[in-house]
């Protein structure tokens, strides 16, 4: 189920965002939102490249809090930059949801994760 949720949020929900909020240019916006998934290329710099139960937030360079601040700044620019910012921030939210799903099923899996404190705080606030 986690895999379905993860890929739906990466591929399906951007369609919803594009169609509902950018109806006139929804096809172009959807392609831009899909293109923001290229941010995952920073996973290639990790060793190992793939590791099950690894939270990418604050681990990969383009998934850090500093990068996210740049993505927020993009929201204040003209089209297409604010759409890119929306896509990148939604990508980070999707990855955070993925981290929460990992955390709720296996707290020890993320014991050395750089985001463990935030996951713990959010988990406690949500009563998970």
pLDDT tens-digit series, residues 28-55: 999 999 999 999 999 998 888 888 888 8
**Token representation of residue 20:** 């509902």
16, 34, 119, 121 from 125: Cα distances, Å: 28, 31, 10, 6
Contact call for residues 62 and 23 (beta carbons, < 8 A): no
Name the pLDDT band for 128 (thresholds 50, 70, 90).
Answer: confident
**What is the CA 83 to chain-centroid distance, rounded?**
15
User: How far apart are the C-alpha atoms of 55 and 32, rounded to whole Å?
Assistant: 24
60: Cβ–Cβ under 8 A, 6 or more apart, which residues?
42, 43, 45, 46
Name the pLDDT band for 78 (thresholds 50, 70, 90).
Answer: very high
7: Cβ–Cβ under 8 A, 6 or more apart, which residues?
none
Q: What is the pLDDT of residue 66?
A: 96
Query: Which pTM was predicted?
Result: 0.90
In 3D space, the residue among 37, 34, 33 whose CA is nearest the CA of residue 62 turns out to be 37
Q: What is the per-residue pLDDT across 6-22, written as a single tens digit (0 to 9) for each?
A: 889 999 999 999 999 99
User: What is the share, in percent, of the chain residues with pLDDT greater than 90?
Assistant: 62
Domain map (residue ranges) of the chain? 2-126
């Amino acid at each position: 189920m986690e895999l379905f949720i993860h890929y739906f949020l990466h591929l399906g929900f951007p369609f919803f965002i594009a169609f509902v909020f950018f109806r006139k240019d929804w096809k172009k916006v959807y392609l831009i939102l899909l293109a923001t998934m290229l941010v995952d290329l920073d996973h290639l710099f990790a060793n190992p490249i793939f590791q099950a139960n690894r939270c990418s937030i604050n681990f990969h360079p383009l998934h850090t809090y500093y990068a996210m601040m740049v993505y927020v700044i993009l929201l204040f620019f003209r089209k297409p930059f604010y759409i890119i910012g929306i896509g990148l921030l939604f990508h980070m939210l999707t990855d955070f949801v993925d981290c929460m799903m990992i955390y709720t099923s296996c707290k020890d899996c993320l014991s050395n994760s750089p985001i463990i404190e935030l996951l713990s705080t959010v988990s406690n606030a949500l009563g998970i």
